[in-house]
Structure 1
């Protein structure tokens, strides 16, 4: 059998694996799910051992299916997780995830401080509760026992990497999303470490995203041999851009999964302190710039599970949702949804924000609320797109990925709201594919045949001109709504928390 490569994406709700040969043919896929924990309001945690077991499970499924060891395994991973571990790499607590909001007040104080912009420009990470920097500050103030016990503070990817190789290393990409890494100097930023109350010795050694290692023993790794190269890889967002060939000027990438993000490739950071766009590293030379929203598929799931009281959401429920909203005209007859159910990141950056349906009247029925919810998520991402787009180099097309791509209705709404051509690639999960590209390049393999194949297997979705005109009139109203409501929302938040 021709040699193959595996891309592993360590996600918030599942680990995914894609096996691909050097010509870009997808040979096998696997996915293993796990839960998150919300023990208190604002808390979002995960047991890292579940992720390790999911990784082993996915590798086992791939190697059992293909019956030969892979040439390389490369990692993509969700960003912004952090946990204290001991010297043997054992987790002292569950990992705090990107969605953990308990450090929101700490982050806001830093953002209001005169030094906030300096911190943002050096680290590339938005000043918000998602940042591991502020999670560490919260731990130091509220959980001193585990803060003081920690030998290191690491992410979920570093946890898996340590279990494989018994060494604490972090790739530039994951490090650049921690709020403590100088993305220009490629080293830990002293001013950020001072805020966290730690030294660089408490963090892993930064390495480039093509860094590779080989395991000394394969006793606990089914289907792997000692010749299989392990590539440390990058973050999920950066890998998604690479996997979608969206690192060139004029090409954007947009993902809607549990959350959502808009990203563009750049040779230099794209700073916007007001919108707090991020600047993460794909490697030592390429930045992936953009913004993330908290509320993507999570907002739609809430609508189905809690608003419509569907205890177990099935594929049939989603089919019903999308069939129903096709009967409603663009704009949902004036009903507008602010999708900030889990607080919001770019460009609002308000952990106290909340969702709202605006302009409800007697003509609005269930289907209007369903369509308005999808439109609200797309309006939020269009807001980020406007913040990151360079007027001198406009985005001509957007490569899309994530769970939402299974709905032609949702994809068309996004095209109509943004007014951009959307491109859907058929090569599998873009983050896992991007990790494969990093592996191939790390081993000196030309990836152009794979990229050329991807270019042939693409589907283009054009915006509907009439719908875009309607949405262009609604969007300025959407943008203004939260600023009008913010004071009242904060008062209600304080009364109920």
Structure 2
């Protein structure tokens, strides 16, 4: 049987999946690498660590593979977005990569608005200037490390550097390029206007390709180290959220994804780049050909639950912590939680706001607080759902993946709060599966990515809204939305007291 490999280059580890023609994960390998945080707000990684651990993971995958290794026809990639990798003329990194969660670039974001204008930036890139994006990082290095920047020949994103080391070729796909603030998202080309404004030479931005495009084959030296054939076809791959969407079947209008990891994402398919969300949600090119997706982000989704467990139930498992939440009624007996532990992104781009429990009563038990945390996370995600609906999008079915798909009560809660059918997949591999699907499609196994999704992805269970809960949650959501406005100024005042 034929196989493909999906490589998911995350922030803390690379996960590598060996997938057969039935969409079954035959083997999975994960390799960690360190985060470098020299100062508060700084977040970097050594690009060579990504390469070394990816190669080591591929080597381990093939060493323990019982099937014929020559059956591996293709490999593709999913990667953490926005991270800046600056390369010299020999395609060697000039410094550590500056990652998506690095927040040192507030001044550079203001510089972008001053030079471009907020409305013009949204017109070109369809996204606001945020510290996480790539252009502010480029401007930071240009200003603070000018001698180093003068040696920069081209920039790439994390997965692109790993792919470069496997093939010898420099490319960037549209879905990852959309997160740089240098791409004209609708026309799918680098913005000459933005490059000229910031004095970036024409070749500084790499050649653009589609996510399923073949960009090379495995180099001989990589073949020797990993066991992969030199004929193995290498495909561009996509941004982690784009690949997560592909791996969850978000490949046609009306399909929406709710992903609850450390952060939370509500992502919806768009057939074109014509909608105007005025920067309230992210608007990126999809990994599927000629498609787009819109995305709202909750910064502390699963992290809110992890924080609560670590702080108040350290010795309990997540299973035990959530065991009684279904015995607590909607509204957690009058307790509300807002998940603003590290600020918020959608719909409030606010670094100063912090979380709240509202309505604490002496009768409340740990299970009430736990349910309130789950409801607060889901309310935050629902704000993105409402933005989509207010733009005329029909959202009646949502694929749920991540931590939110691991608990029955939470899945039902999502159905009730979103007022939509919630679908749980039988095998959830997210971005890694999306990368494998891009390789399968690129190898010609399927006529389209949608056909691949129909063949690879299976539904495990569906949860439908309960009418009485839907009505209660509508009222509770209205109260939840007032907490931000009522606590915004208070939190600004409290900033000076934070350590």
Q: Scaled by the length of structure 2, what TM-score is found?
A: 0.90
> Residue 228 of structure 2 aligns to a residue in which SS?
coil
Once the two structures are overlaid, the 10-residue window that deviates more, 355-364 or 128-137, is: 355-364
Question: Does the CA-based 8 Å contact 2:252-2:269 persist in structure 1?
Answer: yes
Given the alignment of the two structures, is residue 471 of structure 1 paired with residue 473 of structure 2, yes or no? yes
Q: What are structure 1's unaligned runs of at least 5 residues?
A: none
> Residue 208 of structure 2 aligns to a residue in which SS?
strand
Please state how far the C-alpha of 1:167 moved relative to its aligned partner: 2.8
Distance 1:406 1:81 in 2: 30
Equivalent position of 1:298 in the other structure = 303
Given the alignment of the two structures, is residue 357 of structure 1 paired with residue 357 of structure 2, yes or no? yes
CA change 1:308–1:40 in 2 (3 A) is: farther
- Counterpart of 2:249 (choices 234, 245, 252) is 245
Question: Does the CA-based 8 Å contact 1:214-1:228 persist in structure 2?
Answer: yes
CA change 1:132–1:436 in 2 (3 A) is: same
Q: Scaled by the length of structure 1, what TM-score is found?
A: 0.90
Equivalent position of 1:16 in the other structure = 15
> Residue 485 of structure 1 aligns to a residue in which SS?
helix
Please state how far the C-alpha of 1:491 moved relative to its aligned partner: 3.2
Equivalent position of 1:256 in the other structure = 260
Distance 2:427 2:313 in 1: 35
Deviations 1:201-252, CA, capped at 9 Å, x for gaps: 2232222212221023035541201111111111121122222222212211
- Counterpart of 2:290 (choices 266, 285, 288) is 285
CA change 1:409–1:179 in 2 (3 A) is: same
Distance 2:334 2:38 in 1: 38
Equivalent position of 1:36 in the other structure = 35
Please state how far the C-alpha of 1:112 moved relative to its aligned partner: 8.2
> Residue 153 of structure 1 aligns to a residue in which SS?
strand
Equivalent position of 1:340 in the other structure = 340
Counting only pairs closer than 5 Å after superposition, residues 367-382 of structure 1 correspond to structure 2 as 367-382=367-382
Equivalent position of 1:54 in the other structure = 53
Question: Does the CA-based 8 Å contact 1:427-1:433 persist in structure 2?
Answer: no
Counting only pairs closer than 5 Å after superposition, residues 105-254 of structure 1 correspond to structure 2 as 105-107=107-109, 110=112, 115-194=117-196, 196-212=198-214, 213-217=216-220, 218-219=222-223, 221-254=225-258
Given the alignment of the two structures, is residue 72 of structure 1 paired with residue 74 of structure 2, yes or no? yes
Distance 2:59 2:307 in 1: 33
Deviations 1:109-154, CA, capped at 9 Å, x for gaps: 6558882122123113332211111222233334445434433332
Q: What are structure 2's unaligned runs of at least 5 residues?
A: none
Given the alignment of the two structures, is residue 321 of structure 1 paired with residue 326 of structure 2, yes or no? no
Distance 1:495 1:423 in 2: 44
> Residue 175 of structure 2 aligns to a residue in which SS?
helix
Please state how far the C-alpha of 1:384 moved relative to its aligned partner: 1.0
Deviations 1:328-383, CA, capped at 9 Å, x for gaps: 32222222222122222222112333222223332333333322222221111111
Distance 2:115 2:338 in 1: 28
Deviations 1:376-410, CA, capped at 9 Å, x for gaps: 21111111111123664411211122243222233
Once the two structures are overlaid, the 10-residue window that deviates more, 356-365 or 249-258, is: 356-365
Deviations 1:27-58, CA, capped at 9 Å, x for gaps: 22222233434333322333333322332233
> Residue 66 of structure 1 aligns to a residue in which SS?
coil
Distance 1:367 1:143 in 2: 51
Equivalent position of 2:453 in the other structure = 451
Equivalent position of 2:464 in the other structure = 462
